[in-house]
Structure 1
Amino acid sequence: MLTRKQHELICFIADRLAETGVSPSFEEMKEALDLKSKSGVHRLISALEERGFLRRLPNRARALEVIKMPERPEAKKAAKTVQPTAPSRLPQPANDVIEIPLHGRIAAGVPIEALEGATMLPVPAALLGAGEHYALEVAGDSMVEKGILDGDYALIRRTDVARDGDIIVALIDDNEATLKTFYREGAMVRLDPANRAYDPQRYAADQVRVQGKLAGLLRRY
């Protein structure tokens, strides 16, 4: 037995898949169900997964597959007089492109202030794995030896932890962000460029907060 909100969500997702072949974004689901936050959408989707109505497709961010549908009120009325001739075929999801927030420019040279913005960037779903992502436009050339060029879009998976060798977005002193390779040196953090013209940057560990790890790149030609 589904709650009213669970029933509304599964019907909304199924209708959108039938109409466009693409499952709705979490923001669209939040607005359609008049929820206050996306965390409510996450809880509803998890409940529908547990009950066998939905499945999240692996390696495709926000791609949802409807496995089965609850009986809609209008279907119950029709069942009294009309017998179904064949089972309906559920639409196949086609989430080839999704949109993620684009939060300004990030330095691949010396740190610059991290900019916030409301712009959304279309991204091939195959470039992203599980988790929440955002994008930053690269400014500078200090990561060129890793193939990260000025003007590229860095696709970042949100996380606050990193291992040595990870390429991360580091927030320095809570107001400047930079894209570098992360290493620990005792009580210090070393942020390495990938360009012989630049020196590593060293900070006290409490000066640096990990804002995410590099998940992919987009480049315009």
Structure 2
Amino acid sequence: MLTRKQMELLDFIRTRMGTDGVPPSFDEMKDALDLKSKSGIHRLITALEERGFIRRLAHRARAIEIVKLPEAMESGGFRPRLVAEAAPPPPPPRGALAIEPVHALELPVMGRIAAGVPIEAIAHVSHHVAVPGSMLSGKGQHYALEVKGDSMIEAGINDGDIVVIREQTTAENGDIVVALVEDSEATLKRFRRKGNMIALEAANPAYETRLLPDHAVKVQGRLVGLIRTY
């Protein structure tokens, strides 16, 4: 399984090799993923190599070979797509309220996220969902996840809901976030920092708060919306 940043880096390397014939430099990769240092790129490259997606060739500068691609990337990736706009409707009858077009985005549903006991991180596109543009807050990429579990029911998040997530790596106390625990488990919880520890709080008294060292928790995004089907 790949994290979202690993998928983004692999996609960037593939795109640059397709257009320029050579892989990007570490500085270019750092800028493309909006990382502060090249050490983060080194960790992502190492993770991709360990998982068999790329191969680094010894004694050659910028020598990276793509060995394979995730199924989601081979089928078009997980980039948000604009929903095709229909032809404008005819003018409303005299005296009727005008119909305003609604801007929407089609977001990838990147699998299921645990609102309960953490489950293994999932980074593949299962399907897409149309989301009103007004639901998307600020700049940056957004994605969706299907909720599994009932630990956030008192926050209005039920099993089977679709949550809309704005991708970011930081959070304020009280934010509901997608947290990656030990690079292997993903969970949807309320975030609180307590010194050098991170508390991941449930919104259901049946579940205990998890208290983890800050280096063990990586924020993957913040909840900005919710879609429920009745």
With normalisation by structure 1, the TM-score equals: 0.57
Equivalent residues of 2:82, 2:104 under 8 A apart: no
Give 1:122's match in structure 2, choosing from 122, 127, 130.
Answer: 130
With over 3 angstroms needed to count, the CA separation of the structure-2 counterparts of 1:35 and 1:94, relative to structure 1, is: farther
- What RMSD in Å do the two structures reach over aligned CA positions? 2.7
| 2:146 counterpart (137, 140, 144) | 137
Deviation (angstroms), 1:95: 5.2
Measure, in 2, the Cα distance between the counterparts of 1:95 and 1:62: 12
Q: What secondary structure, in the 3-state scheme, does the structure 2 residue paired with 1:117 have?
A: coil
Other-structure match for 2:210: 201
Paired with 1:117 and 1:124, the residues of 2 have a C-alpha distance of 22
Aligned residue pair count = 138
Report the TM-score when normalising by structure 2: 0.55
Identity of aligned residues (%): 48
Could you give the per-residue CA deviations for residues 75-125 of structure 1, whole angstroms, max 9, x where no partner exists?
xxxxxxxxxxxxxxxxxx945221111110000001001212233221122
| Contact persistence 2:176–2:188 (CA under 8 A) | yes
| Alpha-carbon separation, structure 1, partners of 2:188 and 2:181 | 11
Sort the Cα spacing of 1:181 and 1:100 in 2 relative to 1 into closer, same or farther, 3 A. Answer: same
- The answer as to 2:217 corresponding to 1:217 is no
Aligned to 2:36: none
List 4+ stretches of structure 1 deviating above 3 A: none
Q: Which has the larger radius of gyration?
A: 1
Cα shift at 1:173: 0.5
Helix, strand or coil for the counterpart of 2:154? helix
Q: Give the residue type in structure 2 aligned to 1:129.
A: S
**Cα deviations across residues 165-202 of structure 1 (Å, max 9, x unaligned)?**
11000000001100000011111100000001111011
Amino acid at match of 1:120: H
